[in-house]
Amino acid sequence: MGIDRFTTYTVHIQHGQGIAIGDGAQVIQHVASPALAASTPPAVTVTLLTRVVPTATCHHLDAAAFPLVTAGLDNTGHGCQDADVRITAVIEGYSDTATASAAVPAGERTQVTLLPLLRPAAVASLNEIRPATLRIVVEQTASVARGLYDRTERIHLHARDTALLALQAPDGSIVDLADYLAAWVTPRRPEIERLLRAAAERHPDRRFVGYQGAASLAQGAAVVREQARAIFAGLKEDAGLVYVNSPLSLGAEAGQIAQRVRLPSESLAAGGSANCLDGAVLFASLLELTAVDTLLVIVPGHAFAGWRVWQGIDRYEFVETTLIGYADFDAAQASAQASHDDALMRGYFKRGLFDPAGFARVVDVTACREKGIHPLE
């Protein structure tokens, strides 16, 4: 059957676009409703906090701490009406869909932030940075229903062994994520528990008591130090910990400060080879299992472990894990203390995370646990 070239076909038109069918066909716009014709839709602007997303610690974050997607809704246009809006975001193949709703009265503006929750099984095998697709959809659900925004963005996912310590937001502000390094301190892993039991045999009392058994601060510091000494010996003799010269590289690239770091179980599985940060999180994992308040210290190009000398006391001692293979505990303590004092004297602890002259940070693992930064699985 032929098509009469003068036949008129009616199609639905959205946003001023339609499809003409047939030679010489006309397109006639039908108004869905008087409300749709009379109202101006909210204007939508979408910005991303970053295009490179952490995978190891993303489940510790929420949209308030890490607003990956920010949707700005501007309902101040001529002829606008009160609007209810739904926003969704999903990293296709890797996350659940994050959804948020907002009521935007006529004449007002608002912002909505979203962070899709990554699926652990989907990102568990990410050994290198990988591209992904982020889809963002904004729909008006009342007073009329219509699509406002539907786009995909190309992003990248960090490898699972990458710790993202800081990033620069599009507005120039800095998002400090250094505390999330505490997630790599994993005391309840079976490998750590077995190693701590072996280390207990190297303690004079053949046990770990945490913050117990002291009548004075000096005695308490000695009690904790003796436990750290036994852990040091256990890593030397039982785990055969060996320093691998893989310098810490915390430079800022593309608005991010990131570092590859092994989980303690991975360092032990690799025969005890570890760089400075690997060794620090391994030592901290063992020490946290004794119920001692543990620290990770980052200075320019280096990292080491430490602890609070007694519960509730703001005094600390440190240990250099890179010396475990060939020096004694006292020498390792002296080296770490010298590194800390040098960073303090140079003012590194007061500098910003992107300071080109370098920076230093102390990650208080116990305080991080209270903030909900739990060990990685």
Say yes or no to pLDDT of 74 above 60. Answer: yes
3-class SS at 233? Answer: helix
The H-or-E segment that residue 306 falls in is strand 302-308
Sorting pLDDT into bands at 50, 70 and 90, what band is 252?
low
CA distance linking residue 176 with residue 165, whole number of Å? 6
pTM: 0.85
pLDDT for the residue 289: 98
One-character DSSP codes across 28-75: ----S-HHHHHPBPPEEEEEES-SEE-SSSGGG--TTT---EEEEEEE
Sorting pLDDT into bands at 50, 70 and 90, what band is 251?
low
pLDDT digit string (tens) for 17-44?
333 333 433 333 344 455 455 579 999 9
The stretch 159-163 carries a mean pLDDT of: 92
More confident residue, 249 or 211: 211
The stretch 76-91 carries a mean pLDDT of: 95
pLDDT for the residue 27: 37
Tell me how far apart the terminal alpha carbons of the chain are, to the nearest angstrom. 66
Sorting pLDDT into bands at 50, 70 and 90, what band is 369?
very high
Contact 185, 375 (CB under 8 A): yes
Phi, psi of 308 (to 5 degrees): -80, 130
Among 264, 271, 265, residue whose Cα is nearest residue 296 = 264
Give 3-state DSSP helix, strand, coil % of the chain, rounded to 5: 25, 30, 45
Sorting pLDDT into bands at 50, 70 and 90, what band is 247?
low
pLDDT digit string (tens) for 297-349?
999 999 999 999 999 999 999 999 999 999 999 999 999 999 999 999 999 99
CA atoms lying within 13 Å on the CB side of residue 118 = 22
Say yes or no to pLDDT of 360 above 50. Answer: yes
The stretch 248-276 carries a mean pLDDT of: 86
Helix axes 217-237, 329-345, angle to 10 degrees: 110
pLDDT for the residue 39: 78
More confident residue, 28 or 289: 289
pLDDT for the residue 33: 52
pLDDT for the residue 196: 97
pLDDT digit string (tens) for 7-20?
333 333 333 333 33
Say yes or no to pLDDT of 253 above 70. Answer: no
Among 154, 68, 170, 168, residue whose Cα is nearest residue 118 = 68
pLDDT for the residue 38: 58
pLDDT for the residue 59: 85
pLDDT for the residue 58: 87
CA distance linking residue 106 with residue 96, whole number of Å? 32
pLDDT for the residue 19: 36
pLDDT for the residue 29: 39
CA distance linking residue 110 with residue 99, whole number of Å? 16
**Mean pLDDT, the chain, as a whole number?**
89
Say yes or no to pLDDT of 367 above 80. Answer: yes
Strand partners of residue 242: 273
